[in-house]
């Protein structure tokens, strides 16, 4: 699934109070800063990307070509009081790019306004037609999947960082996006959580086809096997990905599933054990190759001690993909898959 998004961008944050729900805008600002002109926030927003504040008209005047819907809340819906900003963007001549489950085209009048203005409405969460049911047949090449203790714990950041590190080393590797933010960053991918459940594993097989023996598909994970709402997506993605290796991703200090406080976060050893047990269905040789921790709320000393403790507990390299880099993790992958 290829996606053409015209740069540069105006990142729309609405009045979202939580940074964890603004992961699309934050991810694009981090990985594609050269394409981000400004941010658009409504009163009450608790997220600041450090970009200039502009209206759609001001951003268009500064050269922006697209408004990126930068928020991914629970359920991916479009709040009604945010809709006027979309019409302002269309009137300013901006394409609108969104990863909401609800299509932009169901907003009354928006499609007509976009057609009149000569701009595009781009729904990222629209899977390609004709996806197959998964076969479970082993494919050539290598695959590395990110798995999480929860949503928004760094699976995308880790996959992007690992793929970049591998390419920088001259390895044959490619990032495979499975969510709206990753697709916007990479320009291609599979919106796996929008695929009809019977075809999730098949969609993952399509995303990561047969490849050269030395090729690594570094696959962005989705949800968590311990998530009461999204575990089905996680399991289907894993069965279709057939990962040779997986990286556990976790946010330090989180004790309960985000927005589901009655469900505790699993321990890292628990997640490793469950991932191996369920992943063996399509790849009996599946193994954990490392741990990636978001330690952004920790001091340097706290981070160092925490990562050392995880490494000692698991016997695996433990990194923060932003603060420390993923070099030790890739070193380990190279060593065990010689």
Considering the domain architecture, whether residues 94 and 225 belong to the same structural domain is answered as no
* Separation between Cα atoms, residue 268 and residue 248, nearest integer Å: 7
Considering the domain architecture, whether residues 157 and 265 belong to the same structural domain is answered as yes
Q: Are 239 and 204 in contact (CB under 8 A)?
A: yes
Question: Coil, helix or strand for 267?
Answer: coil
Q: How far does the chain reach from its first CA to its final CA, in angstroms?
A: 32
Considering the domain architecture, whether residues 159 and 261 belong to the same structural domain is answered as yes
* Separation between Cα atoms, residue 241 and residue 297, nearest integer Å: 32
Considering the domain architecture, whether residues 173 and 96 belong to the same structural domain is answered as no
Domain assignment present for residue 278? The answer is yes
- pLDDT tens, per residue, the chain with 338 residues: 778 899 999 999 999 988 888 989 999 999 999 999 999 999 989 999 999 999 999 999 999 999 999 997 655 567 889 999 999 999 999 999 998 888 899 999 999 999 999 999 999 988 999 999 999 999 999 999 999 999 999 999 999 999 999 999 999 999 999 999 999 999 899 999 999 999 999 999 999 999 999 999 999 999 999 999 999 999 999 999 999 999 999 999 999 999 999 999 999 999 999 999 999 999 999 999 999 999 999 999 999 999 999 999 999 999 999 999 999 999 999 999 98
Domain assignment present for residue 168? The answer is yes
Residue-wise pLDDT tens digits, 168-202:
999 999 999 999 999 999 989 999 999 999 999 99
Helix spans in 223-297 (H) = 231-241, 268-279
Considering the domain architecture, whether residues 193 and 328 belong to the same structural domain is answered as yes
DSSP-assigned beta bridge partners for residue 96: 67, 121
Of the three residues 123, 151, 180, the one that is the final residue of a domain is 123
Domain assignment present for residue 73? The answer is yes
Domain assignment present for residue 289? The answer is yes
Considering the domain architecture, whether residues 70 and 163 belong to the same structural domain is answered as no
DSSP-assigned beta bridge partners for residue 48: none
What lies within 8 Å, CB to CB, of 53 at 6+ separation is 38, 39, 40, 41
Print the domain residue range for 326: 142-336
pLDDT of residue 317: 98
pLDDT of residue 21: 87
Domain assignment present for residue 228? The answer is yes
pLDDT of residue 2: 77
Q: How many domains does the chain have?
A: 2
Domain assignment present for residue 164? The answer is yes
Considering the domain architecture, whether residues 303 and 183 belong to the same structural domain is answered as yes
pLDDT of residue 73: 61
Of the three residues 69, 89, 123, the one that is the final residue of a domain is 123
* Separation between Cα atoms, residue 333 and residue 162, nearest integer Å: 10
Considering the domain architecture, whether residues 119 and 153 belong to the same structural domain is answered as no
Considering the domain architecture, whether residues 220 and 263 belong to the same structural domain is answered as yes
Please state, in angstroms and as integers, the Cα–Cα distance from residue 57 to each residue in 7, 88, 92, 104, 114, following that order. Answer: 16, 8, 5, 20, 15
Q: Are 309 and 296 in contact (CB under 8 A)?
A: no
Q: How many Cα atoms sit within 13 Å of 24 on the Cβ side?
A: 28
Of the three residues 89, 123, 157, the one that is the final residue of a domain is 123
Domain assignment present for residue 137? The answer is no
Q: Look up the CATH number of the domain holding residue 196.
A: 3.40.50.300
Helix spans in the chain (H) = 23-31, 56-61, 83-91, 110-117, 155-168, 180-186, 200-207, 231-241, 268-279, 300-314, 327-336
pLDDT of residue 10: 98
Q: Look up the CATH number of the domain holding residue 113.
A: 3.40.50.720
Domain assignment present for residue 100? The answer is yes
Q: Closest by alpha carbon to 71, among 146, 141, 15, 21?
A: 21
Considering the domain architecture, whether residues 168 and 252 belong to the same structural domain is answered as yes
Considering the domain architecture, whether residues 193 and 275 belong to the same structural domain is answered as yes
Considering the domain architecture, whether residues 64 and 170 belong to the same structural domain is answered as no
pLDDT of residue 75: 54
């Amino acid at each position: 699934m290829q996606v053409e998004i015209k740069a540069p961008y105006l990142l729309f944050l609405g009045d979202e109070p939580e940074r964890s729900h603004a992961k699309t805008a934050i991810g694009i600002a981090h990985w594609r800063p050269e394409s981000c002109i400004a941010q658009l926030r409504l009163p009450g927003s608790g997220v600041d990307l450090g970009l200039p504040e502009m209206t759609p008209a001001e951003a268009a005047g500064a050269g922006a070509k697209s408004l990126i819907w930068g928020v991914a809340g629970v359920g991916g819906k479009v709040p009604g009081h945010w809709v006027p900003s979309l019409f302002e963007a269309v009137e300013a001549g901006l394409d609108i790019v969104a990863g909401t489950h609800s299509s932009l085209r169901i907003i009354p009048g928006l499609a007509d306004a976009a057609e009149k203005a000569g701009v595009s409405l781009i729904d990222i969460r629209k899977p390609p037609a004709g996806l197959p049911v998964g076969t479970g047949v082993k494919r050539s090449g290598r695959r590395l999947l990110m798995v999480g203790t929860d949503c928004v714990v760094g699976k995308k950041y880790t996959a992007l960082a690992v793929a970049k590190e591998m390419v920088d080393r001259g390895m044959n590797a490619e990032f495979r996006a499975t969510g709206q933010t990753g697709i916007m960053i990479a320009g291609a991918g599979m919106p796996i959580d929008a695929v009809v459940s019977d075809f999730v594993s098949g969609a993952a097989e399509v995303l990561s086809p047969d490849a050269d023996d030395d090729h690594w598909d570094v696959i962005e994970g989705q949800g968590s096997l311990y998530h009461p709402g999204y575990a089905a997506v996680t399991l289907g993605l894993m069965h279709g990905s057939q990962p040779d290796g997986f990286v556990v991703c976790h946010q330090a200090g989180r004790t309960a599933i985000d927005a589901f406080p009655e469900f505790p976060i699993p321990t890292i050893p628990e997640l490793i054990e469950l991932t191996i047990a369920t992943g063996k269905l399509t790849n009996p040789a599946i193994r954990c190759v490392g741990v990636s921790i978001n330690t952004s709320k920790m001091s340097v000393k706290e981070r160092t001690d925490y990562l050392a403790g995880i490494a000692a507990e698991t016997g695996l390299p433990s990194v923060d993909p932003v603060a420390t880099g993923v070099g030790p993790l890739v070193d380990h992958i190279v060593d065990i898959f010689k």
